[in-house]
A and B are shown apart, each in its own frame.
Chain A
Amino acid sequence: MKNKLLIIIFTITSLFFVSHIYSFQFGVGTRGFVKKVIEKGQEEGKIPKTKEEKEKGKPNTINYTGKLDKLDLSQAKYLFLAPKSTSTTSPSPSIKGAIYKADMTQTEKTVFKMKENGDIEEVNLYDEQGNRFDVNVYYIVKLSTEFISVALEIKGVWIVTTTTQVVNGSTQVVTTEQYFPVSQWQTSVSTMGWVDYSQYQKQYLVRLEDGAVFEGRYLPNDGNKKIYQDMYGNYYYILAWSNSAWWLNYGYGTEIQQGSLLKLNTKDMSVQVVSAQGDTIPSYDVEAFAVDKYGNLAYLSMSGSGYKYRKTTATVDSSSIEHQGFFNYPIGSSNYAVDGLLPIVDINCDGIYFVDRVSEGEYGLKNLRVRKLECNYNTGYEIKITSNVDSVYYEIVNSLSYAKILSIGDKEISLLKTTSEKIIFPTIDLVNATTSYYYEVNYSTFGLVDYNNFSNGFLGYQVVSSTEVYVLIKTQGQQSGRYKYTFYAIYPKEERIEKVFYTEKYEPSQGWPLFSVDENGNIIITATDLDTGTKNVLKITPNPSDPGNTNNITFLQQGNVEIYYLVRVY
């Protein structure tokens, strides 16, 4: 009994140590453990790798600022993250095909680009002198066709030195690279004597046109599901928790409250809070706020009451008016509105709309009221009541706030809404205030049985155009333990649905975005081959006449490392 107690105490004590230490080496034999410690020290540049290195002495520290200047994005069509292939022991990395390397121990990631011709290259990151950085990249978020946002930690740099040597009587220029981890940078060592690694964990905007890098704070991160852009190049988003760059979150809440709506000015990289003081907005809900191209915004405040809207820019119509105030838009019984959708902006971002269910009029609760928020020089903050919608389908107005917006046309809104039996696709004509189209699809069409299954099986959608939507459905597969993933193209206005592709062999990575659509309507998705375990980037050509045909798949990338944050550059 005593011995058992001793074993238990020993085990618990060991576990306690494991959870409280910075890193943990494991060795077979005490010597094996020591070997691991030495290797770790070598990785950090504190222990020489060879006897010769030791005799030569520690390389001199370099006076180096480590300022990231540019990413080589030339010819990039897609960008993604994958485990990096290079290491500090490999000053001349094999770039092409690096992602194919079976190095499952590599956990640090970097940016890869898929070029027009299908080639994949590791993206090099440079300083102003053309020296190449060794980095660990945490995410890529696409803001627009102009910018992406990345967070990364600089781990070291390969300093390029050019010398001339006389070989067989002729002078030759020889270029060499020497690796310096941040621990050898003079600027990285604090006055207290330790290396301040946190100063190399930063957020950047990267201009897609030329790869130019702009450092900033509170930039969009992987927690942002929706980012708006106005006509002046400003971006609007919620200050969200980052899922991968955990170190970013430590700074949140001190200067800017998490959940605040931010406006990023890319001209000077300044960030301004444009939500009312104390207001927080859910970052996970893509419909919680809307911004039009003039920079007017409306949002649902979690901490305030109802919706708020304001004008954020003074440049509309060349006026010099700066509006600082917020206006409340009532939810609930006020002014007969029962409830409504979150603020919606049309696809051209011309204006913000409120769609409410109202109890007034001949049709009772079946009435919808559409209001357009017009914030220009002439109208100020007047809300223009576009009109009351005549009688619409009861299912549209019932629990309207749970609807999903599939597309917002210039003058109409197409919705996706689930009931206990089916999905409905109403389209509301905002000009004539009528239900211009109505289409419904029963769950049984997708092989789904009930609402719960629908919740689990409806993975996501992408708007291809204002009249076409791709939906990804997950259902039970034919093979035991496997699911069937099916893409449907839905044309609500044509009241038509087509199965365009299905597979049980590939399991999509359920990250964000779930999938994207290229310029030709092909579906781009990262997926795991369940037979072989390979990780793939698939281009799926929709084929309604033969959706199960494997020839519908083109492999943009096949490898054995996970791919993250696939974004289309153009």
Chain B
Amino acid sequence: MIKKLIFLLILTLLISTTYVESLQIGFGWTLDTGLHIRVNKFELQGVFGEPSIYGLRFYPINKGVNIIGKEFNFYSGVEANYVSSEVLDWGYTAGIFAGLDKAIFKKLHLSLDLGVFFSTVKGWEEFSDWGAAINTKLTWYIGGKK
């Protein structure tokens, strides 16, 4: 609960800075019931449920690409999250991802990326595994050049 409140507080603070033109700010939700805030190349995200994850995405690569005559933004980066679950003592997951982003309505962007992730969780014992994940997000950009 406390973690959710902290996250909402950060969200409020960031929204209050949306009129700062030098920052490229966006906020939105992921399709697996999460929220995120984008500030330039960084994105704070929280996906709620059982388990919940809280983490940061870093987007160092952003390039315009033309696919079948349409302009997309290709992006790639890294992601790290803390995992919270009632059956875990703790858990972490991190990975790399790459995907495409497109404005679908004014400053509302839809993004889809595929990532390779590694996760370590601790229940009774530590357990780790590899895998892949598809992430889809809707982001409304308020400030900046988007």
> Which parts of A13-42 form the interface with B (CB within 8 Å)?
13-14, 17-18, 21-38, 40-42
B111 is an interface residue with CB less than 8 A from chain A: no
- Interchain CA distance A134-B81 in the complex, whole Å: 36
Determine which of B31, B115, B131 lies in contact with A36 in the assembled complex, contact meaning CB atoms within 8 Å.
B131
CB contact list, B19-49 vs A, under 8 A: 30-32, 34, 47, 49
Query: Is B142 in the interface zone, CB < 8 Å from A?
Result: no
| Interface pair A24/B132, CB less than 8 Å apart | yes
A217 at the interface (CB under 8 A from B): no
Which residues of B are found within 8 Å of A101, using beta-carbon distances?
Answer: none
- On chain A, the residues within 8 Å of B135 by CB distance are 29-30
B10 interface residue per 8 A CB criterion:
no
Given A44-B127, A46-B126, A46-B127, A27–B85 Cβ distance below 8 Å?
no
CA–CA, A50 to B93, complex, Å?
Answer: 21
In the complex, A18→B130 CA distance in Å?
8
Does residue A51 face the partner (Cβ distance < 8 Å to B)? yes
Interface centre among A4, A6, A41, A54 (most CB of B within 10 A): A41
Residues of B within 8 A of A17 (CB): 116, 130
Stretch at the interface among B1-9, B101-109, B117-125: B117-125
If A46-B127, A47-B87, A47-B123 touch, whether A33 touches B98 (CB-CB below 8 Å) is no
A24 to B32 CA separation, bound complex (whole angstroms) = 20
Judged by a CB distance under 8 angstroms, whether A168 is at the interface is no
Does any Cβ of B come within 8 Å of A3's Cβ?
A: yes
A46 touching B123, Cβ below 8 Å: yes
Contact across chains for A25 and B98 when beta carbons are under 8 A apart: no
Q: How far is the CB of A5 from chain B (nearest CB, A)?
A: 11
Distance in Å from the Cβ of A46 to the closest Cβ of chain B? 4
**CB < 8 Å neighbour of A6 from B30, B74, B79:** B74
B31 touches A29 (CB 8 A): yes
B41-95 interface (Cβ within 8 A of A): 47, 49, 51-53, 55, 61, 63, 65, 74, 76, 79, 81, 83, 85-88, 91, 93, 95
Q: A38-B121, A50-B87 are in contact. Are A29 and B131 (CB under 8 A)?
A: no
Name which residue of chain B comes closest to A29, CB basis. Answer: B32
- A sample of 19 cross-chain residue pairs with beta-carbon separation below 8 angstroms, ordered by A number, consists of A2-B63, A6-B98, A7-B74, A29-B32, A30-B79, A30-B81, A30-B115, A32-B32, A34-B53, A34-B81, A34-B91, A38-B85, A41-B129, A47-B87, A47-B123, A48-B123, A54-B123, A54-B124, A57-B124
6 smallest beta-carbon distances between A and B, as pairs? A47-B123, A25-B131, A29-B32, A41-B127, A58-B124, A33-B133
